[in-house]
Amino acid sequence: MIARSSGNADGHGVAVSAENCAKTFADGTQALGSVTLDVERGETVVLLGPSGCGKTTLLRIIAGLEHPDAGGRVLFNKTDVTRVPIERRNVGMVFQSYALFPNMNVAENIGYGLKIRGVNGAERGARVAELVALTGIEGLEHRRIDQLSGGQRQRVALARAVAVRPSVLLLDEPLTALDAALRERLRGELNRLLRTLGITTIYVTHDQSEAMALGDHIVVMRKGAIAQIGTPRDIYFAPASRFVAEFVGAANIVEAEYRDGSLVFPGGKLAATAAGDGKGKEPVVVMIRPESIKIVPADGAALCGQVEAVSFVGDRQRAAIGGVAAKAIMVDAPNSLPLKTGDRVGLAVDPGAVRLLPGDSQ
Amino acid sequence: MRDRLIFAAQFAFTLLVAAFLIVPAVLSMLAGVTLNYFRGIQSGLTLQWVVQVWELYSETIFRSFLIAITTLAVTLIVGIPAAYALHLRSDRLSRAIEEVITLPLAIPGLALALALLLSYGGFSDFRRSWLFILAGHSVFTLPFMVRSVMAMFGAIDVKTLDEGAASLGAPPWRRFRDVIVPNAAPGILAGSLMVVTLSLGEFNLTWMLHTPLTKTLPVGLADSYASMRLEVASAYTLVFFVMIIPLLVAMQTFARYRGNPAALPR
Amino acid sequence: MSKRAFVGLCFLPLAVLVAAFFVLPMVRLVLVGASGQDGLRAYAAILLDPRYRATLFNTVALAAATTAATLIIATISGLFLQRHRFPGHALLVAMLTFPLAFPGVVVGFMIILLAGRQGLLGDLTLHLFGSKRVFAYSLQGLFLGYLYFSIPRVILTIMAAVEKLDPSLEEVARTLGAGPWRVVRDVILPALTPAFIASGAIAFATAMGAFGTAFTLATDVDVLPMLIYTEFTLSANIALAAALSVGLGLVTWAILALARSYGGTSIAAAG
Q: How far is residue A202 from each of residues A62, A216, A223, B154, B169, measured CA to CA in Å?
A: 9, 10, 19, 29, 19
Contact A57, A51 (CB under 8 A): no
Q: How many whole angstroms separate alpha carbon B200 and alpha carbon C102?
A: 10
Is A7 part of any domain?
no
Q: Which residues contact A328 (CB under 8 A, 6 or more apart)?
A: A308, A309, A320, A321, A322
- Is residue B10 less than 8 Å (CB to CB) from chain C? yes
Centroid of chain to Cα C58: 15
For residue A109, what is the nearest residue in chain B, using CA coordinates? B165
**Is the Cβ pair B207, C211 closer than 8 Å?**
yes
pLDDT attached to residue A43: 93
Closest-CA distance, B260 to chain C, in angstroms, reads: 16
Residues of chain B with C-beta less than 8 angstroms from the C-beta of A92: 167
**Same domain, yes or no: A133 and A121:** yes
Q: Is the pLDDT of residue A278 over 60?
A: no
**Same domain, yes or no: A28 and A97:** yes
**Is the Cβ pair C14, B77 closer than 8 Å?**
no
Contact B221, C109 (CB under 8 A): yes
CA atoms within 13 A on the CB side of B125: 0
Q: Is the pLDDT of residue C110 over 70?
A: yes
Q: Is the pLDDT of residue C265 over 60?
A: no
For residue B174, what is the nearest residue in chain A, using CA coordinates? A116
Q: How far is residue C207 from each of residues C143, C249, C257, measured CA to CA in Å?
A: 10, 12, 16
Q: How many whole angstroms separate alpha carbon A21 and alpha carbon C24?
A: 46
pLDDT range class, residue A69, cuts 50, 70, 90:
very high
Domain boundary among A214, A246, A278: A246
Residues of chain A with C-beta less than 8 angstroms from the C-beta of B163: 65, 86, 93, 95, 99
H or E segment and range at residue A74: strand A73-76
Of B160, B171, B174, the CB nearest to A97: B160
Is A362 part of any domain?
no
Residue B198's domain spans which residues?
A: 58-258
Question: Smallest Cα–Cα separation from C84: which of B221, B42, B11?
Answer: B11
- Is residue C10 less than 8 Å (CB to CB) from chain B? yes
Among B158, B163, B168, B266, most A C-beta atoms within 10 A, so best to mutate, is B168
Helix/strand/coil for C251: helix
For residue C111, what is the nearest residue in chain B, using CA coordinates? B24
* Cα dihedral B196, B201, B204, B210 sign: positive
**Is the Cβ pair C96, B21 closer than 8 Å?**
yes
**Same domain, yes or no: A222 and A305:** no
For residue A145, what is the nearest residue in chain B, using CA coordinates? B262
Helix/strand/coil for A347: strand
Residues of chain B with C-beta less than 8 angstroms from the C-beta of A95: 160, 163-164
**Is the Cβ pair C105, B203 closer than 8 Å?**
yes
Counting the structural domains of chain B, the total is: 1
- Reported as a single tens digit per residue, the pLDDT across C62-104 is 999 999 999 999 999 998 998 888 888 888 888 888 888 888 8
Domains, chain C, with CATH or none: 49-261 (1.10.3720.10)
pLDDT attached to residue A173: 94
Domain holding B138: CATH number?
A: 1.10.3720.10
pLDDT attached to residue B166: 94
- Is residue B24 less than 8 Å (CB to CB) from chain C? yes
Q: How many whole angstroms separate alpha carbon B218 and alpha carbon B236?
A: 10
Counting the structural domains of chain A, the total is: 2
By CB atoms closer than 10 A (0-12, 13-18, 19+), residue A1 is: middle
**Same domain, yes or no: A69 and A195:** yes
pLDDT attached to residue C263: 56
Helix/strand/coil for A284: strand
- Is residue C211 less than 8 Å (CB to CB) from chain B? yes
Residue A205's domain spans which residues?
A: 16-246
Q: How far is residue A125 from each of residues A72, A100, A129, A139, A144, measured CA to CA in Å?
A: 40, 18, 6, 14, 17
Chains touching B (at least 3 CB pairs under 8 A) are: A, C
**Same domain, yes or no: A240 and A260:** no
Q: Which of residues 187-226 of B touch C (CB under 8 A)?
A: 197-198, 200-204, 207-208, 218, 221-222, 225-226
Q: How many whole angstroms separate alpha carbon B144 and alpha carbon B101?
A: 10
Mean pLDDT of chain A: 88
- Reported as a single tens digit per residue, the pLDDT across A315-344 is 999 999 988 888 889 999 998 888 889 989
**Same domain, yes or no: A270 and A196:** no
Is A309 part of any domain?
yes
**Is the Cβ pair C120, B18 closer than 8 Å?**
no
Is B240 part of any domain?
yes
Domain boundary among A216, A246, A276: A246
Is A188 part of any domain?
yes
* Cα dihedral C187, C192, C197, C200 sign: negative
Mean pLDDT of chain C: 83
Q: Which residues contact B162 (CB under 8 A, 6 or more apart)?
A: B88, B175, B179, B180
Cβ-Cβ pairs closer than 8 A, A with B, add up to: 66
**Amino acid making up residue B134:** L
For residue B264, what is the nearest residue in chain A, using CA coordinates? A146
Is B33 part of any domain?
no
Q: Is the pLDDT of residue A353 over 70?
A: yes
Task: Specify the DSSP class assigned to residue A329.
Answer: E
Q: Which residue has the higher pLDDT, A152 or C263?
A: A152
Q: How many whole angstroms separate alpha carbon A94 and alpha carbon A125?
A: 21
Q: Which residues contact A130 (CB under 8 A, 6 or more apart)?
A: none
Q: Is the pLDDT of residue A279 over 60?
A: no
Q: How many whole angstroms separate alpha carbon C206 and alpha carbon C203?
A: 5
**Same domain, yes or no: A133 and A149:** yes
By CB atoms closer than 10 A (0-12, 13-18, 19+), residue C2 is: exposed
**Amino acid making up residue A49:** G
- Is residue A90 less than 8 Å (CB to CB) from chain B? yes
Is B34 part of any domain?
no
**Same domain, yes or no: A194 and A320:** no
For residue B238, what is the nearest residue in chain C, using CA coordinates? C106
Domain boundary among A211, A230, A246: A246
Name residue A6's beta-bridge partners: none
Q: Is the pLDDT of residue C159 over 80?
A: yes
Q: How many whole angstroms separate alpha carbon A337 and alpha carbon B195?
A: 75
Q: Is the pLDDT of residue A217 over 50?
A: yes
pLDDT attached to residue B28: 87
Mind spelling out the 3-state secondary structure of A215-251?
CCEEEEEECCEEEEEECHHHHHHCCCCHHHHHHCCCC
By CB atoms closer than 10 A (0-12, 13-18, 19+), residue C241 is: buried
- Reported as a single tens digit per residue, the pLDDT across C1-15 is 677 888 888 899 999
| Angle, CA of B17, B199 and C60, to the nearest 5° | 50
**Amino acid making up residue B152:** M
Residues of chain B with C-beta less than 8 angstroms from the C-beta of A146: 261-262
Chains touching A (at least 3 CB pairs under 8 A) are: B
By CB atoms closer than 10 A (0-12, 13-18, 19+), residue C236 is: exposed
pLDDT attached to residue A236: 92
Each residue's pLDDT expressed in tens, for chain B with a length of 266 residues: 777 888 899 999 999 999 999 999 988 888 888 888 777 777 788 888 889 899 999 999 999 999 999 999 999 999 999 999 998 887 888 888 988 888 888 888 888 999 999 899 888 888 888 999 999 999 999 999 998 999 889 888 888 999 999 999 999 889 989 999 999 998 899 899 989 999 999 999 999 999 999 999 999 999 998 888 888 999 999 999 998 888 888 887 777 655 444 444 43
pLDDT attached to residue C237: 81
Any alpha helices (H) in C84-138, and if so which ranges? 89-97, 104-115, 120-129
Task: Name the pTM for this structure.
Answer: 0.80
Helix/strand/coil for A301: coil
Task: Specify the DSSP class assigned to residue A105.
Answer: B
Of B156, B168, B266, the CB nearest to A164: B168
Is B84 part of any domain?
yes
Task: Specify the DSSP class assigned to residue A351.
Answer: G
pLDDT range class, residue A235, cuts 50, 70, 90:
very high
pLDDT attached to residue A172: 95
**Same domain, yes or no: A274 and A145:** no
- Is residue C59 less than 8 Å (CB to CB) from chain B? no
Is B52 part of any domain?
no
Closest-CA distance, B42 to chain C, in angstroms, reads: 16
Q: Is the pLDDT of residue C181 over 60?
A: yes
**Same domain, yes or no: A180 and A315:** no
Q: How many whole angstroms separate alpha carbon C206 and alpha carbon A334?
A: 76
Q: How many whole angstroms separate alpha carbon A249 and alpha carbon A289?
A: 8
- Is residue C6 less than 8 Å (CB to CB) from chain B? yes
Closest-CA distance, B111 to chain C, in angstroms, reads: 5
Closest-CA distance, A144 to chain B, in angstroms, reads: 10
Q: How many whole angstroms separate alpha carbon A140 and alpha carbon C32?
A: 66
The beta strands (E) that lie in B17-88 are given as 34-36, 40-45
Total Cβ atoms within 10 A of residue C248: 24
- Reported as a single tens digit per residue, the pLDDT across C182-230 is 888 888 898 888 889 888 888 898 898 888 898 888 777 788 898 888 8
Residues of chain B with C-beta less than 8 angstroms from the C-beta of A85: 166
Domain holding A325: CATH number?
A: 2.40.50.140
- Reported as a single tens digit per residue, the pLDDT across A176-199 is 988 888 898 889 989 999 988 889
Is B181 part of any domain?
yes
**Is the Cβ pair A164, B165 closer than 8 Å?**
no
Is B29 part of any domain?
no
Q: How far is residue A115 from each of residues A127, B240, B244, measured CA to CA in Å?
A: 11, 48, 43
- Report ipTM (2 d.p.): 0.83
pLDDT attached to residue C1: 61
**Same domain, yes or no: A66 and A212:** yes
Name residue A171's beta-bridge partners: A94, A203
Q: How far is residue B143 from each of residues B67, B85, B103, B106, B149, measured CA to CA in Å?
A: 17, 14, 9, 11, 10
Q: Give, rounded to a whole angstrom, the gap between the first and last alpha carbons of chain A.
A: 26
Q: Is the pLDDT of residue C124 over 70?
A: yes
Q: Is the pLDDT of residue C266 over 70?
A: no
- Is residue B130 less than 8 Å (CB to CB) from chain C? no
Residues of chain B with C-beta less than 8 angstroms from the C-beta of A93: 163-164, 167
DSSP string, A1-35: --PPPSTT-S-BS--EEEEEEEEE-TTS-EEEEEE
Q: Which residues contact B191 (CB under 8 A, 6 or more apart)?
A: B75, B79, B144, B145, B146, B147, B148, B149
Question: Smallest Cα–Cα separation from C200: which of C145, C268, C255?
Answer: C255
Is B151 part of any domain?
yes
Rg (CA), chain C: 22
